């Protein structure tokens, strides 16, 4: 047996909230073979399995009575290059931001708006991660996943992933698909996405009139560092709530009492509201109770000031949800997965 199975391992280093709970069993898989070995062992011993990547979209509320399988596979490959369009493939365990930096160092464009997002490549399609006008689906070329029901490998196209807002087939079928590697369509001749005002403003402040993908990445990194706490310094999982999509009629009713409502029209006629704005208007920004709190600069971010439990953070999130529903009639959905 090549796998190192450990017992009673603290998961504090493996989740960005820094929640100190224990995994009954823990191992790391560096290859497809080790993934299969871990799953086979768990099936033989009737252990539940929790698969994790960077732990950046996870809220652990109790000790994990399961085999925690951390995806640690590494490797980046250039699959095709026609002089303009390039397909780059990365293993699931590759840390996301270093992968973005690697693509930029190769002179490739497409991932720059997704700079500095925590987590791993394999977890990115699960949530269809997105920032500053770009989502995974916009640069997606395919992925390979293991079907835990049949043991077979399957390649997924863009359409088959059924991507939605912070959503995908893989999130809707939890426990079935284990993503092994992901492929991206990137460009040598950049088509930059600068629709979001803060990005243009930051580039302008830097005196950059004709930005490169690297310039955009650096601008976004500086904005994110100002707005979002570093998980290495303050435990968090980034944006904790999705921006809710509501009927236009509800948005109009809210705007009567709150003219400053931040809302974006959607193609289907609905409106996407800024969850952070709603939370801030309700007075939660900077709230702290014990070591569980809401970040003082970004209302979307719940933080662990040191010793908060996952249960305390979950309870705080539920209080915020109830308050926003009562005040605005809007349901907020949590982004992180609870365990």
Tell me, what CATH number does 143's domain have?
3.30.465.10
Two tokens at 214? 């690297």
Residue 251 lies in a domain: yes
Helices of type H across the chain: 32-45, 96-105, 124-127, 158-161, 169-172, 197-205, 213-227, 248-257, 275-281, 310-328
C-alpha 309: how far from chain center: 21
| Alpha carbon distance 119, 55 (integer Å) | 7
**pLDDT over 60 at 257, yes or no:** yes
Mean pLDDT across the stretch 282-291? 97
Last residue of a domain, one of 202, 227, 252: 227
Residues in contact with 96: Cβ distance below 8 Å, sequence separation at least 6, in sequence order: 54, 114, 117, 118, 119, 120, 121, 123, 124, 129
Question: What are the residues facing 329 on neighbouring strands?
Answer: none
Same domain, 95 and 211: yes
Which residues face 10 on adjacent strands? 22
Sign of the four-CA dihedral 231, 234, 238, 241: positive
Query: CB atoms < 10 A from the CB of 319, how many?
Result: 13
Confirm whether 204 is a catalytic residue: no
Q: 55: domain range?
A: 6-71
Whether residue 246 is found in the same domain as residue 197: no
Question: Average pLDDT in the 306-322 region?
Answer: 97
Pair (163, 195) in one structural domain: yes
pLDDT at 190: 85
Q: How many domains does the chain have?
A: 3
Strand partners of residue 292: 289, 304
Q: What is the pLDDT of residue 228?
A: 87
pLDDT at 108 over 60: yes
Q: Which of 152, 143, 110 is nearest to 124 (CA)?
A: 143
CATH code of the domain covering residue 15: 3.30.43.10
Residue 62, pLDDT score: 97
Please check whether residues 223 and 81 belong to one and the same domain: yes
Please check whether residues 111 and 153 belong to one and the same domain. Answer: yes
Element (H, E) at 232: none
Q: Are residues 282 and 310 in the same domain?
A: yes
Q: Is residue 1 part of a domain?
A: no
Q: Which one of 27, 56, 71 terminates a domain? A: 71
The verdict on 88 and 45 lying in the same domain is no
**Residue among 300, 302, 304, 280 at smallest CA distance from 290:** 304
Q: Are residues 269 and 325 in the same domain?
A: yes
pLDDT class of 326 with cuts at 50, 70, 90: very high
Residues 6+ apart with CB under 8 A from 197: none
Residue of 94, 112, 166, 168 with catalytic role: 166
Check whether residue 222 and residue 265 sit in a common domain. no
Catalytic residue among 109, 239, 299, 309: 239
What is the mean pLDDT of the segment spanning 149-176? 94
The CA angle 121-122-128, to the nearest 5 degrees, is 80
| Per-residue tokens: 144 | 């390979």
94 assigned to active site: no
- 174-181 average pLDDT score: 95
Instruction: Please report, for residues 163, 229, 339, the alpha-carbon distance to residue 183 in angstroms, rounded to integers and kept in the order given.
Output: 15, 29, 29
pLDDT at 1: 52
Active site residue 181: no
Cα–Cα distances in Å, from 190 out to 37, 107, 117, 187?
A: 42, 9, 21, 6
pLDDT category, 119, cuts 50, 70, 90? very high
Query: Is 90 within a domain?
Result: yes
Looking at 71, 95, 121, which one is the last position of a domain? Answer: 71
- Tens digit of each residue's pLDDT (9 = 90 or more) over 230-254: 998 999 999 999 999 999 999 999 9
Shared domain for 258 and 329, answered yes or no, is yes
Q: Which residue among 91, 94, 135, 335 is the active-site one?
A: 335
Task: Identify whether 101 is part of a domain.
Answer: yes
Q: Are residues 130 and 54 in the same domain?
A: no
Same domain, 81 and 223: yes
Task: Enter the pTM of the model.
Answer: 0.90
């Amino acid at each position: 047996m090549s796998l190192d199975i450990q017992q009673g391992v603290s998961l504090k280093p493996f989740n960005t909230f820094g929640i100190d709970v224990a995994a009954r069993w823990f191992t790391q898989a560096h290859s497809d073979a080790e993934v299969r070995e871990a799953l086979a062992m768990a099936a033989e011993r009737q252990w539940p399995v929790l698969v994790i990547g960077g732990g950046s979209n996870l809220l652990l509320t109790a000790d994990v009575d399961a085999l925690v399988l951390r995806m640690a596979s590494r490797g980046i490959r250039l699959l095709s290059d026609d002089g303009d369009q390039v397909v780059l493939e990365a293993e699931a365990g590759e840390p996301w931001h270093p992968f973005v930096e690697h693509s930029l160092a190769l002179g490739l464009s497409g991932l720059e708006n997704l700079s500095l997002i925590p987590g791993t490549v394999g977890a990115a399609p699960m949530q269809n991660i997105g920032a500053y006008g770009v989502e995974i689906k916009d640069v997606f070329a395919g992925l390979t996943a293991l079907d835990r029901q049949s043991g077979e490998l399957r390649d997924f196209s863009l359409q088959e992933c059924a991507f939605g807002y912070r959503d995908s087939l893989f999130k809707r079928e939890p426990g079935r698909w284990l993503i092994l590697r992901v492929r991206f369509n990137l460009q040598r001749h950049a088509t930059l996405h600068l629709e979001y005002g803060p990005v243009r403003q930051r580039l302008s402040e830097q005196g950059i009139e004709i930005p490169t993908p690297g310039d955009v990445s650096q601008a976004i990194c500086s904005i994110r560092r100002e707005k979002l706490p570093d998980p290495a310094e303050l435990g968090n999982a980034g944006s904790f709530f999705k921006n809710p999509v509501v009927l236009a009629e509800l948005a109009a009713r809210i705007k009567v009492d709150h003219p400053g409502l931040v809302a974006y029209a959607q193609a289907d006629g609905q409106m996407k509201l800024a969850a952070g704005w709603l939370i801030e208007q309700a007075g939660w920004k900077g709230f702290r109770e014990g070591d569980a709190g809401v970040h003082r600069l970004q209302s979307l971010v719940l933080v662990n000031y040191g010793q908060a439990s996952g249960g305390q953070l979950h309870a705080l999130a539920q209080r915020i949800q109830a308050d926003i529903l009562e005040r605005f009639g809007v349901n907020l959905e949590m982004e992180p997965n609870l365990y």
